[in-house]
Amino acid sequence: MVDVTSISHAMTATKAMKDILEAMVGLRDANTFQTERFKLQSLIIDAQNSIFSANEERSALLERVRDLEKTIAEFETWDTEKQRYELKTIAHVALVYAMKKDADTTEPAHWLCANCYNNRKKSFFQYFTHGPPGRLIALSQVGLNVVSSPC
């Protein structure tokens, strides 16, 4: 919200400037005129500072709105993407999100880590048969997570 105090202060300073200018028209004494001129300059600077402050706040608010719009767009994109998957159990060991059979895509079939999916991340599972009985590895954005039970 734009700082109403800054705008009010700018309006008050502007009214005071008008009053001083009206008073200056009738002045003939150079010293009094000079004093009023300095008061006027001070009020102009105060009004400008108030306007600059309100403009800075407005810019910050516009940036915040852009950030929120970006976040909303990301949520909407994820909501569309997550509709392509359904929760499945694999090998009675782990829960994964698998592509629905009716999903219209050219991607190969794959599994997503359920925890990552619930955190709005798309991390793929790979099945490796090397070493002790096969292992599921979640290839997440933060590294490899070895999984031998549900994530």
Query: For residue 92, what pLDDT is reported?
Result: 74
pLDDT of residue 99: 86
pLDDT of residue 63: 96
Closest CA to 48 of 19, 6, 15: 6
- pLDDT at res. 144: 43
Tokens of 115: 């925890």
> Is residue 121 a contact partner of residue 102, using CB atoms and an 8 Å limit?
no
Q: What is the tens place of the pLDDT at every residue in 69-118? A: 999 999 999 888 888 899 988 777 778 888 888 877 778 888 888 888 88
**DSSP label at 130?**
S
Of 32-36, 42-46, 47-51, 81-85, minimum mean pLDDT range? 32-36
Phi, psi of 145 (to 5 degrees): -115, 115
Query: Counting every residue, how long is the chain?
Result: 151
Q: Note the pLDDT of residue 59.
A: 95
pLDDT tens track for 47-69? 899 899 999 999 999 999 999 99
pTM of the full predicted structure?
A: 0.53
What pLDDT is stored for residue 60 in this prediction?
94
Domain boundaries, the chain: 4-79, 83-147
Task: Report, as an integer, the average pLDDT of 21-30.
Answer: 72
